[in-house]
Chains A and B, each alone.
Chain A
Amino acid sequence: MAVRFFGQFLIDQGEVDADQVRIALDLMEDENPTIGEIAIDEGFLSARQAALVSAEQRVHYLAFGDLAVEMGFLDPTELEQVLFRQRSQRVLIGDALARLGFVEWDRLGTLLDAYKVDQASYQVGARNLPEALERHRAPGFVIELLPEFLMRFAQIHAKVGDVVPFSSGSCHAEVKVSVSIEGASHLLITLVSDRSFAEALAVAASGLGTGARDADLIVDGVGEFLNVLVGNAIAASAREAHRFDLGPPEYDADPGEGWAVGLAVGVGAAALLFAVA
């Protein structure tokens, strides 16, 4: 199982179907005011300023409120007030499905409890990160989720080490696979390893057994693992209203300069590199 939202969980449980989720999403869209609409209603933004923020959003991967603050139209206190009002008034997917009669109100609490148990492992604990990584938010989830996903994918035990500065010239790994995250800043995440770690990961990820691999399939398998790990980190951080886009894996790219996280693993040697541009 992976990071998923309540609607997906309910479909997986056979409680609702995709058409019912679609109808509920339409209801939410009709009834949930946007941040811009609330800010206008509160008198914090003019309609013109809201339109300017929306236009700017097409080129910035920032949430509307954060961008409005950055553009000087809202102050942080006003944004807090707007977010609080949005949170307190928001029709959630469970409420929408229940109002539409697709889920019994009496059953909703039980299903929410089951969902919380299902998603309990996708939380971020306390870990001190350099300011640039802390600000980006996704790296925290990537580091926290890594041991769990390595265990699930390939039964590889991993312990995450300290975050230390890293310079480009010091990387001589046999296998180097990167994915990029576009957000308020560009972040390149690279998994570097020796061949035995990469092979163990790739064989497990493909489910094809040890006889069916070649060099390309090995890096492809490592890429798929990194893709899943980072994709889940993005999904988890999206719950905190952080907006990111994930690029496809790149093979043998220059990992740049930034921070390295050493991994103590049961098979071979590996590390994660983060470069923020």
Chain B
Amino acid sequence: MAPKINVLIVDDSRTVLGHHAHVLSEIEGLSIVGTARDGAGAIRMATEARPDLVLMDIVMPGLDGLSALRTIKSMHPEIAVAMVSSIGGDVAKAEEAFRLGACQVLAKPCDVEQLETLVEAVRVARQGERTEAGGAL
């Protein structure tokens, strides 16, 4: 059976939180385990809820998305983090995000299909990890 994917959404905009939640609710086998509106909240929620995937903005008040990405990947390398940002297409920012361990960097506005592809990639990766773990036992 395909593993369920738990998602944490991080964006300072209520509009985006609502939009992502609306779009993701259409994808089967996915659960939104929390939302946060800045980088510090993202780190806290990632530790508490242990999502499979974090969708995170870059430009946020307080701790920004790239700083939060660095911390989350150092504390929980198993969590996939995708940056979804209006400046995601800025090549320097995108390269920095990839170097910090992002699994994808999407520029807003992104399509529903891009989010579906992203979730599916995380699901396949999780399935692979579980198969490997099972084989090792």
Contact = CB atoms under 8 A, between A and B. Distances in A.
B15 to A, nearest CB: 4
Given A208-B22, A235-B87, A220 B14 contact: yes
A221 B15 contact: yes
B86 A25 contact: no
Given A18-B104, A217-B14, A248-B61, A8 B89 contact: yes
A1 to B, nearest CB: 7
Given A2-B89, A243-B92, A231 B22 contact: no
A2 B15 contact: no
Contact of A18 (B88, B89, B102, B117): B102
A18 B87 contact: no
Contact of A5 (B18, B89, B108, B109): B89
A239 B91 contact: yes
Interface of chain B: mostly helix, strand, loop or mixed: mixed
B14 to A, nearest CB: 5
B134 to A, nearest CB: 23
B117 to A, nearest CB: 7
Nearest to A201: B15
Contacts of A243: 92
Contacts of A153: 109
Interface stretch (B27-35, B47-55, B93-101): B93-101
Nearest to A214: B14
A30 to B, nearest CB: 13
B91 A231 contact: no
**Chain A interface size range:** 35 or more
Contact of A2 (B12, B98, B109): B109
A18 B103 contact: yes
Given A207-B22, A248-B12, A231 B104 contact: no
B107 interface: yes
Contacts of B13: 220, 223-224, 227, 249
A113 interface: no
Interface in B84-137: 85-92, 94-95, 98-99, 102-111, 114, 117, 121
B96 to A, nearest CB: 10
Interface of B: 12-16, 18-19, 22-23, 59-61, 85-92, 94-95, 98-99, 102-111, 114, 117, 121
